Structure 1
Amino acid sequence: MIDLKNVSRIYQIGSGKVFALNKATLHIDEGEFVSIIGPSGSGKSTLMNIIGCLDTADSGTYLLDDIPIEAYTETELAKIRNRKIGFVFQSFNLIHKLTAEENVELPLIYQGIGKAERKSRVAEALERVDLTKRSRHLPSELSGGQQQRVAIARAIVTRPSLILGDEPTGNLDSKTTEEIMDIFHELHAHGNTIVLITHDQEIAEQASRIVHIRDGKLSEVSV
């Protein structure tokens, strides 16, 4: 499903160059649960942005479902992000003026899906994260864990095959972290491919594969 070969991403800082990714090679099969762990500044988020088609590499190749990403136009990449990939971020990235169900509905509106189907899918997604009773609450009326549940519902409402989590438990207490990880395990059990970016070893160890990243270089660890 995901195949990166010798991928580098270089940033120019002053007169010098910094390798956010340095010839990174990574293969992830459909249906895997992989964690990518590393310290701050190691290149984790850059790697996720490339996997999620939010950024492009300076060199190397990235095949998503056997198709080179560079073959897609920006419009096509936007469609891939909206239909094939679900994103869950540490900061939730909810729109504060919209209710939980309105936040979850947004990706479906972008897809041009009709109102009746949108309503059905939103209800299904919120039920999967056990948030049906809070569907009409604003983010400010929800706890951090509940906001992250809304973010997960928004990520899965388009029925993506790949879910990318960028430190999705980073702002949560231990009990809420456990609840959110239970949801990720359930999504994995239902066939989703999960790639989880984290700095937390305990979170990383819940995946079936651990990939370490440091100074833009990847190394695999057996679980």
Structure 2
Amino acid sequence: METKDIIRLDDVSKVYTIGDTEVRALDHASLCIKEGEFVSIIGPSGSGKSTMMNIIGCLDIADEGHYYLNGQPIESYSENDLARIRNKQIGFIFQNFNLIGNLTAEENVELPLIYQKVPKAQRQALVDQALVRVQLGKRKDHKPTELSGGQQQRVAIARAIATKPSLFLADEPTGNLDSATGEEIMKLFHELHDAGHTIVLITHDEEVAVQASRIIRIKDGHVKEVSR
């Protein structure tokens, strides 16, 4: 059975004006990502990869071209639809973890489920499952300052797992970690991929990028598929 496209960008451009200068962050970029794939998007700083992540994650919109999410053009979704997609269908994982400092690991993982109005008993089960999956079941009462960088990133991954998204979108998830801890986090992504999840990983690190099943390179807003 043919797998469906989750993400398709056709001839997408995004232009920013900085003073008198026009910067094409994306320049007629096209790509397709199918359900269940593990894809890395690699490029140097300023290449356009963060802009692409923002468009894929429905955090920004393209100036030209078309973005299809689950086969539907993005412009067909209402603002409420997009908010629901960001909250339920996409699991965001960021370089800086984006944890709330005065909340415990358990409370950080629970927060998006509260926004989704998931009943308390079901929330607790989802949170517990997610924290066990990232091997932090015994650290659930710890706040971010009481956790290492790798543990904080595991909490961030657990927070994404708990919402049961169809897509994990990770922006430089190993960027603030030492190499050994980064390898542990990548092992988690491989486990998620082996379980059937779709993963798009944005990185500037070649050693991280080559671990994906497919590599897409981006430079000066131009996209190039890399054959393996």
Matched with 1:116 is 121
Residue pairs, 1:124-203, within 5 angstroms: 124-203=129-208
Matched with 1:44 is 49
What do you get for the CA RMSD once the two structures are aligned? 0.6
Matched with 1:26 is 31
Which secondary structure does the structure 2 equivalent of 1:35 belong to?
strand
Q: Distance in 1 between matches of 2:115 and 2:168?
A: 18
Query: Unmatched 5+ residue regions in structure 2?
Result: 1-5
Q: Distance in 1 between matches of 2:161 and 2:80?
A: 21
Which secondary structure does the structure 1 equivalent of 2:202 belong to?
strand
Matched with 1:58 is 63
Aligned with 2:94 (options 67, 89, 101):
89
Which secondary structure does the structure 1 equivalent of 2:121 belong to?
helix
Q: What is the letter of the counterpart of residue 101 of structure 2?
A: H
How far residue 16 of structure 1 moved from its aligned partner, in angstroms, is 2.1
Aligned with 1:73 (options 74, 78, 100):
78
What is the number of equivalent residue pairs in this alignment? 223
How far residue 74 of structure 1 moved from its aligned partner, in angstroms, is 1.4
Which secondary structure does the structure 2 equivalent of 1:41 belong to?
coil
Aligned with 1:11 (options 16, 33, 36):
16
Q: What is the letter of the counterpart of residue 126 of structure 2?
A: R
How far residue 28 of structure 1 moved from its aligned partner, in angstroms, is 0.4
Q: What is the letter of the counterpart of residue 122 of structure 1?
A: V
Q: Distance in 2 between matches of 1:70 and 1:217?
A: 23
Query: Unmatched 5+ residue regions in structure 1?
Result: none
Q: Distance in 2 between matches of 1:135 and 1:6?
A: 44
Give the TM-score, by structure 1 length. Answer: 0.99
How far residue 75 of structure 1 moved from its aligned partner, in angstroms, is 1.4
How much identity, in percent, do the aligned residues show?
A: 68
Q: What is the letter of the counterpart of residue 165 of structure 1?
A: A
Runs of 4+ residues deviating >2 angstroms: none
Q: What is the letter of the counterpart of residue 29 of structure 1?
A: K
Q: Distance in 1 between matches of 2:158 and 2:193?
A: 14
Q: What is the letter of the counterpart of residue 145 of structure 2?
A: S
